[in-house]
Structures are given as structure tokens and as C-alpha cells.
Amino acid sequence: MYRTILFDFDGTVFDTGEGVTKSVQYAARAFGFKADDLSALRAFVGPPL
């Protein structure tokens, strides 16, 4: 019997890239940066491990 189950959620079960990118956009705007192009912001989001 197993006591622990591990699974990879991020990038396997669900693609969280859009949510992370929108979070970066929100933070950038809060600091006064123009952050309209989500594809440009995607470069600041690292790949899943």
C-alpha cells in the first residue's frame, strides 16, 4: 500500500502558462509598466520543470 501519491500538475494535467502570464501583466501594470502584449510577457515565464 502506498502512503503518498505524487503527480505533476503544472504543464501535465493543466497548462498554467496563461494564468502566470496574466499575473505578470497585472504586476507590471501595478508598477506602471505598459504590459498589453501577452506574447511578449510570455518570454518572462520560465518553462515547466
Q: Which long-range contacts (CB under 8 A, 24 or more apart) does 41-48 make?
A: 42/17, 45/17, 45/20, 45/21, 48/10, 48/11, 48/12
- pTM: predicted TM-score of the whole model, two decimal places: 0.66
Q: How high is the pLDDT of residue 9?
A: 78
Of 28, 1, 31, 32, the C-alpha closest to 43 is 28
Domain ranges of the chain: 17-49
> Is the pLDDT at 24 greater than 80, yes or no?
yes
Please tell me which residue, 39 or 49, carries the higher pLDDT value. 39
Among 8, 10, 15, 37, the one annotated catalytic = 8
Q: How high is the pLDDT of residue 34?
A: 92
pLDDT band at 27 (very low <50, low <70, confident <90, very high): very high
How many H helices and E strands in the chain?
2, 0
Cα separation of 40 and 20, whole Å?
A: 13
pLDDT band at 49 (very low <50, low <70, confident <90, very high): low
Catalytic annotation on 8? yes
